[in-house]
Every structure is written in structure tokens, then in C-alpha cells.
Chain A
């Protein structure tokens, strides 16, 4: 089992719809969680950190479920510009060890 797993997609979603995807992680001691966005052939950029209480930034909501060991990303009112690959990142322990998921590709269609 991979340490951090994501559905590769692609998720094909009409503009304006709500879309959600999850990321599962294997180490229950993981402490930090992030979502990054990566456009084709570009560098990853931080979208949002994921806190235990969940957090929201505009149309984006991230949640952490420690019991089931997954984090989620919800995008409301999706825009064409949301088309990208979304990378899940987990810090596995107290020492530096960031593990990156392979990403979920999202395509927003007009």
C-alpha cells in the first residue's frame, strides 16, 4: 500500500458544480497535511494547509479525518481555472519526511 494515495482521475466536472476528492495516508502518526495545486508542466503551489478542525478558504474546504486516515478537498462553484492536478502532501512524523501523493487531475468543462 502506498503511504499517500489519491485517485488519479481525471474528474470531469461541469463549470459551477461542486467536486470533492480524498487522499488517504498510511501512518496514523502523521502530523501535517497540505493540498497543493499543480498546473500542467508547472511547479506545485500551496493551496491550503489542512487543520484538525477543518478549514475553508473561499470556495475551497479542506477536512481531516484522523480516525479513517484521510484528508479531503471540496471545491464549490467550480471555475474553468480550477482545472489542475491537486496534490496531497503528508508529513509522516516529527522529523522531516514529507510524502507526496501522485495527484488527482481535475478538468472543469464549460
Chain B
């Protein structure tokens, strides 16, 4: 079984709809992240969480919110989806206690299309 899972894997929605993307991990890592990837651009950080009580905005948090329900779960919400939020979304984890705390492990991604 995959260590980092994301649901759904694909989603098509309409402008103005509320969307939630979910991420779960069995790696026991304390840190979790949400990124988006657009063609020709690097991964852009939306939000990150270093533990259940710690949530931080990334470089492109406007229009998004997150919830860290447990150490293993980190969800991303689009309160009112707009077409320029069409992208590939990745969840990632890392372990602050490891030799390389910056090493990230990714879920398979969610392809979101906003019409």
C-alpha cells in the first residue's frame, strides 16, 4: 500500500463550488505539505504543517484553507473554486527527526479541473 495517499485522484468541478482534497499518510511523519504544480512552473507551496497544532501559509495560500485533523491527515479546501485553480495538487510529508528532514515524500497527486 502507498505510504501517502490522496483522494480524489481526479476531480472536475464548476466555478464557485467548494472542494476538499484529502491526504493521509502511514509514514508516521510529523510534517505535511500541500503543493500545486502548473505546466512549466515549479511546485508551489500552498500550506504546510509541522505538527497537528502548527499550520503555516506557503507562497500561494490565497483562496485555499487547510485542516490538520490528525498527525496522519491533512486536507486542503478550495472554498469557492475558480478556473485558475486548475492544476495538479500534491501532498507531501517529511520527518523532522530524520537525518534529512527536508526530504519530501509525495502522494500520487490530484488532478483538479475547474470549469
Contact = CB atoms under 8 A, between A and B. Distances in A.
A45 B48 contact: no
Interface residues of B, number: 22
A99 B42 contact: yes
A100 B40 CA distance: 12
Contacts of B56: 96
B40 A42 contact: no
A98 to B, nearest CB: 6
Interface string A37-48: 000011111100
B43 interface: yes
Contacts of A100: 35, 42-44
B102 A91 contact: yes
Interface of A: 4, 8, 32, 34, 41-46, 49, 87, 91, 96, 98-103
3 closest Cβ contacts across the A-B interface? Answer: A100-B42, A43-B106, A100-B43
Given A46-B105, A102-B41, 20 more contacts: A4-B42, A32-B100, A41-B109, A41-B111, A42-B108, A42-B109, A43-B106, A43-B107, A43-B108, A44-B104, A44-B106, A45-B106, A49-B103, A91-B102, A96-B50, A98-B104, A100-B42, A100-B43, A100-B44, A101-B42
Interface of B: 35, 40-45, 48, 50, 56, 88, 90, 100, 102-109, 111
